[in-house]
Structure formats: C-alpha cells, structure tokens
Amino acid sequence: MLIPLPRSARFRPLRALGLISLSVCFGSVAALADESTIGAATAAAAAGQPDHATIVAETHAASLEMREQSLRRTIARDTAWPSGVWGDNLWTLAALHLNERVEEANARLLARTNEYIETNRTNGSIAAPTPEQPGEAPWTFFSVTDYARTLHLFHSASPHFPGRLTAETEAAMKEALWLWTSAGSRLADTGPDDLFLLLGTENHDLNKRPGYYLVTALLQDDPAYRDRKLADGHTTAEHAAALTAFFREWPRSRARSGLWIEVGSNTYQKYSFPALFNLHELAPDPVIRHRFGLLLDLAFIEEAQISVRGRRGGGRSRAVGGGNGFESYKNLLHAVPGQPAGSSHSRVMETSAYQLPAEAILLRKATFPTVEPFVIRNRVLGKIQDTDREGHRIDPDSALVNYAYRSPHYLLGSTLQNPALEYTGISRQQRWCGMLFEDPAAPSVGAVYPVIERTRGGRPQHPFWSVQHENVILLQRIAEKKPGPNGGSYSTGPISMRFDAPGLEIVEEGDWIFAGNGKACIGVRFLDGGHRWNEKQTEAFPADYKGPGDTGRILLHAGDIDSYASFESFREKVRANSLMVSSEKVDYSFSGGSNQIEMARYDVNSLEGFTLPLINGSPVDLHPEASYQSPFLNAAYGSDRVSVTVGAKTRTLDFSEEGR
C-alpha cells in the first residue's frame, strides 16, 4: 500500500515521491474504493464526530492505492481504450510509470514516432492532428498531453523517472514533438494581452499551448534544438522564455476572473484538467509549478462546494443532465466507497502525485448535506472582447455569474447573464440549470432540469437565459434570429422539463407541476400556455410551442422540509404567491412577499430595449465585487488572494506567491 504524502511534498520530482498510479478502461471506469480503506473515517462521520485528519489521510491513501491497482489492470491488457494510437499513448504511459513491459512500450512509441517523422520528411510538411482526425501523428489531438508527459517523466535527464525511454525512443519523441510545436506555436500568441485569447475552444487551447511550453522548455537545454527556428522564425529558446512568462501569469489571470468558460461540461472537463496537472508537476519553472498547484486546489474546492455526491450543479455550459464523465476522474481523488473512479481518455491523473487539498475532501465527506442554506455566487468567463485569428479573446469581466442556492436537501443553480451581450459559443452553448436532490440514501442523484431539443447540426446555441434569486429561477427560451453575431438562438427546439429522481412524487395542481422526494420539492410552471407530458410522464413540454420564434417562459420554485412543514404545505404556499404574467413581463413574489423577481421579456429584434431583471427592485448584478462568494470561497474580483474556510480550517491561496 502506498503512503499518503504531506502537502509540502507535492512539488518534489515524482520519482522522489515513489508513486505509481492507476488507469481504467472506458465503459467500466470501474475502480471502486475499498470500503475498508476509509471505513474508520466514514464511521466517524456517520456518528456525527468526523475525525477530519483521519478522513483526509485515509482518502489520500485510498486514492493512491486505487491508482496503482488500475494501472496494473491497464497493462494486463495488450491495448487500452480508446483503440489505436490514443490507446497506445495511455498504455505506454501506464507501463513506463509502473516500470513494467518497458521494452514493449519503447517499441510501440518508437515505431509510431519514426513513421510520423518519415512521413513529414517525405511530404515536406508537418501534419498536426485535429480533434476530428488523428492524422499520422503518434498521438491524437487530445492525447498529446499524455504523450508529452511520457517524454518528460522518462527521458534520460528527467528529475522523475530517468532512463525508462531508450536513447533512440527519446530522440524520436523529441523530434516529433518539436515538429508539432514548430507548426503550431507562435510567439505572437504569448504576450500579456493574450492570457484570455483562446486558440479554438477552451479545451482545444489547453491541449495546445501547455504542450508547446513543455516541449520548448525541455528542448531549450538540448544543443540540437536550442537555436533551431520554429515556423514563425523564432528559436526554441525564445519560445521557451515567452511561454514561461505566459504560463506564470495564466493561473493568476484565471483565479482573479472566475476560472472557466466551459463550466461543468459533460464532454470537455476531462480534456482540460490533464493540462493543469502537467503544468503543476512537469514545468521546469518553479513559479509555474506552484501557481498551477494553487489553481488545481482552487478548482477542486470550487467543484466540491457546488457538487452533490460528485455531480456538479449550478450553471453549466456545453452540458446536459445526468452523469458527467468528469465525475469518475474526481472520484479517483476523493476515493468515495462504491463510486466508479478513474479516467477514460487520459492517464495523466493516474500517474500524478497530486493529492486533493483537505478542504475539498472535507467539503464532500464531512460538510454536506449542509445544516443551513447558503448561496454560491462566482464569476465565470465567456463574454467576447474581440475576435482574433482562429479564436476569441475573452473579456475577464464577462458579465456572467454562476449562481447556486444550496439547502440541506437540494441544490438549485443557474447562470446569471445578459442575453443581449455577445458570449462565445462555448459559453452559451447547451446551457444547463436546474435542481439536484441531496439525498444520501437515494441510489442516485436525482434532478429536475430543462431539456433543449436540438433542431439541426451542432449543440443548441443561446437556447435560453435565466435569472435566479435564492430558491427561484425564471428562464425564457430565446427566439431564433439571423443574421447577426448575437441575440438569437440556434438549433433550439422546444424546451421541456425533465423530472428524473428516484422515488419522486408528482402532483399537478392547476398549471403547476409539483415534485417531491419526501425531503425536497419543486414547483414548475410553464407560463405561456401550460404543458403536456411525454408518454412516460417523465418530461413536461410546453403545450403551445410556437416554433423558432417561441419565447416561452418557465418558473422553478424549490423548497424542502426545513422550510415547509410538508409537501402539501409547500404546494399551498407556492400557489398562494403573487404571480403576474403578461406578454412583456413576469413578476413573482415569494418568501412571504419578502423576495421579488421582475423579468422583462427578451426580444432578439430589440436588443437596445432590453432591461436586466430586477431582484427586490434592483437590477441583477452581473459584475459583483467578488470573484468568489460563499461560506467556503471568497475573493474580491481581480485579487490574487482567495480565502478558503471549511469548518475550523482556514487557508489563503495567494497567486502572487512564486513558490520555490
């Protein structure tokens, strides 16, 4: 069994830590935490007296053990999922990290890499894989992070596991990665004004520039490459210096402004996070290592506070309801008994020495369900500042807020936004909002949320906008509009409401649909013409959908047994609330009249006439003074310092520090 490491050891070479790790195949992602491994901590928590130090230590130990077990399952097979070159990248990284089947791993790497180099020599051009096509490269677009990690961990002068690559394989991998970097890296993309420039989507960007940095930072010390010029006319050493300065500031800029654009994406979180791990552990520059370590801590604490049993709530982008592929990645670190844990598309996390901060572990295992309701109000990124070359330049002050209201029995969340502004497609694409039921006894995490019908190729764009105050959400479908860069929806059909929770009781009273699980409940009302059900009675649709120009509105009002005496009492009080609906506005008063939301209808043909919703008489604040605001995370917008408080545990993440 591997020994849990103190936090102070995180920045040492992986070799010094003596760690090995795990990997799982897609489809099973089946590494389950051993009940006995963290049994003592779980029992203490169940008794109401959790031993926090024990919970953290046992979680770290269980996570390391799971990583090793899964790595061994990976190399026990001849191939890893996905098939082909992607699977080879994962398999060879796992084998070399375990220091087993090393000769075979080198042979696989060398054969594919030499073929790529020869193809480039023959064609006279450098072939780079795309997200859609792997091309002839010895990696895919999304597995270059694993391939570059393999070179960094095992080359002859590595501070981690030197010499597991043969001299021939190492030389070939250096040449192949230099060719790829030469074709894509540009000094023009690395200035201080480029910190919010996306080369493609957010996850695409994180599969490019971190790799360019790691390759040039390694090869600048090789006489054969140091003065070799890349396609933009600048040398390897010049690129390394520019990218070092760039990635020193990148985590600071994200921490100050709100972290992510593809927030909680079902598809893309798993492609973005491996780059953060690589920069934290492999960067030759200690400042980059330190600041990306802080960024990982911040990211996982933020994930924990807004997740129910590992399922992220709140406002999300490029997202749908149900399971999220990144949940098993997080479970690999949290080591929750009985939960599928491991990665599908990368082995970076499994071969990492990184351990979750205590605060993230204690949020998941000793804090929730919460005792008192609270609000999470975090800035997120997404507003376009300008377009530039192949990507977008994002405004750090993006007029977007990830908002969630968390009670002992549910989490209700959404994205506060101004629909008349121009947000990048990856921000406004397939937005998700809704309610997660917090019931530890339930077999799965239940939810009530909107479902957007897609009408053509690609995900729905700008399908709806929403406003929320505490336990109430109002949302409006956005009509289609062409031409124009902003304003209207795309590929958006009817917006329905899905009721997906075990043991859910559904009661219809008037135009209201009420649903409850005995602890939490929600009222849903279609405000423009009522509703109809699908055959299974699991999804309610607008009864009077008007096609592409529809601007139907939906009201969600959540509650629980701590706020209402019973499900019947909740229904009675919601029905008694003041609700005024006209063609131009919705005005809803709740909480005994102490709270009010006024939401004007958004007209895609009259952007200049749009006014923001009013919360208790004041416009919704899309530029809050804080980047993070909750009982657990707090920081002023633009500040380098993020305060973390979980129970008696307090800590400051200071991104101005350079580490060591």
To 10 degrees, the CA torsion angle through 425, 313, 264, 335? Answer: -170
| C-alpha–C-alpha distance, residues 371 and 427, integer Å | 33
Across the range 5-29, mean pLDDT stands at: 39
Segment among 99-108, 384-393, 531-540, 601-610 with least mean pLDDT: 384-393
The closest alpha carbon to 414, from 364, 377, 367, belongs to: 377
DSSP letter string over 171-212? Answer: HHHHHHHHHHHHHH--GGG-SGGGTTEESSSHHHHHTTHHHH
Instruction: Write down the pLDDT at residue 35.
Output: 39
Instruction: Write down the pLDDT at residue 27.
Output: 30
Residue 329 lies in a domain: no
Instruction: Write down the pLDDT at residue 390.
Output: 58
Which 8-state DSSP code applies to residue 602? P
Segment among 118-122, 270-274, 381-385 with least mean pLDDT: 118-122
Segment among 35-44, 196-205, 595-604 with least mean pLDDT: 35-44
Output 362 or 7, whichever has higher pLDDT: 362
Residue 337 lies in a domain: no
Residue 152, C-beta contacts closer than 8 angstroms, at least 6 positions apart: 158, 160, 214, 218, 278, 282
Q: Quote the percentage of the chain above a pLDDT of 70.
A: 91
Q: Is residue 37 predicted with pLDDT exceeding 70?
A: no
Q: How many domains does the chain have?
A: 1
Residue 141 lies in a domain: no
Instruction: Write down the pLDDT at residue 49.
Output: 56
Instruction: Write down the pLDDT at residue 41.
Output: 42
pLDDT single digits (tens) 128-164? 888 888 778 999 999 999 999 999 999 999 999 999 9
Bond into 483 cis (ω within 30) = yes
Residue 654 confidence class, pLDDT cut points 50, 70, 90: very high
E strands, 501-620, are: 505-509, 512-516, 520-526, 531-533, 539-542, 553-560, 579-581, 585-590, 595-600, 614-615, 618-619
Output 514 or 68, whichever has higher pLDDT: 514
Residue 435 lies in a domain: yes
- Is-contact 220 227, C-beta < 8 A? no
To 10 degrees, the CA torsion angle through 54, 60, 65, 68? Answer: -170
Output 495 or 43, whichever has higher pLDDT: 495
pTM: 0.93
Helix 326-334, helix 52-76: angle, nearest 10? 120
Residue 565, C-beta contacts closer than 8 angstroms, at least 6 positions apart: none
- Exposed (0-12), middle (13-18) or buried (19+): which is 167, by Cβ within 10 Å? exposed
Q: Is residue 2 predicted with pLDDT exceeding 80?
A: no
For residue 419, give the amino acid letter: P
Q: Is residue 626 predicted with pLDDT exceeding 80?
A: yes
Alpha-carbon Rg for the chain, nearest whole angstrom, is: 25
Q: Is residue 13 predicted with pLDDT exceeding 90?
A: no
Q: Is residue 183 predicted with pLDDT exceeding 80?
A: yes
Instruction: Write down the pLDDT at residue 16.
Output: 45
What is the β-pairing status of strands 585-590 and 579-581? antiparallel
Residue 68 lies in a domain: no
Across the range 396-422, mean pLDDT stands at: 97
Residue 618 lies in a domain: yes
Residue 453, C-beta contacts closer than 8 angstroms, at least 6 positions apart: 460, 492, 493, 494, 495, 496
Across the range 647-652, mean pLDDT stands at: 93
pLDDT single digits (tens) 90-120? 999 999 999 999 999 999 999 999 999 998 8
Residue 582 lies in a domain: yes
Residue 48 confidence class, pLDDT cut points 50, 70, 90: low
Segment among 33-37, 261-265, 294-298, 414-418 with least mean pLDDT: 33-37
The closest alpha carbon to 250, from 223, 227, 228, 272, belongs to: 272
Instruction: Write down the pLDDT at residue 133.
Output: 83
pLDDT single digits (tens) 470-524? 999 999 999 998 655 567 999 999 999 999 999 999 999 999 999 999 999 999 9
| C-alpha–C-alpha distance, residues 271 and 261, integer Å | 14
Residue 17 confidence class, pLDDT cut points 50, 70, 90: very low
Q: Which tokens is 595 given?
A: 């709270």
The closest alpha carbon to 247, from 208, 216, 287, belongs to: 287
Q: Is residue 255 predicted with pLDDT exceeding 90?
A: yes
Across the range 203-210, mean pLDDT stands at: 96
Instruction: Write down the pLDDT at residue 467.
Output: 98
Residue 122 confidence class, pLDDT cut points 50, 70, 90: confident
3-state secondary structure 153-179: HHCCCCCCCCCCCCHHHHHHHHHHHHH
Q: What are phi and psi of 129, to 5 degrees?
A: -65, 155
For residue 452, give the amino acid letter: I
Instruction: Write down the pLDDT at residue 22.
Output: 30
Q: Is residue 45 predicted with pLDDT exceeding 50?
A: no
pLDDT single digits (tens) 560-570? 999 999 999 99
| C-alpha–C-alpha distance, residues 402 and 319, integer Å | 14
Instruction: Write down the pLDDT at residue 392.
Output: 79
Residue 248 lies in a domain: no
Mean of per-residue pLDDT scores for the chain: 91
pLDDT single digits (tens) 305-338? 999 999 999 999 999 999 999 999 999 999 998 8
Range of the domain at 592: 374-625
The closest alpha carbon to 395, from 376, 417, 422, belongs to: 422
Across the range 579-598, mean pLDDT stands at: 96
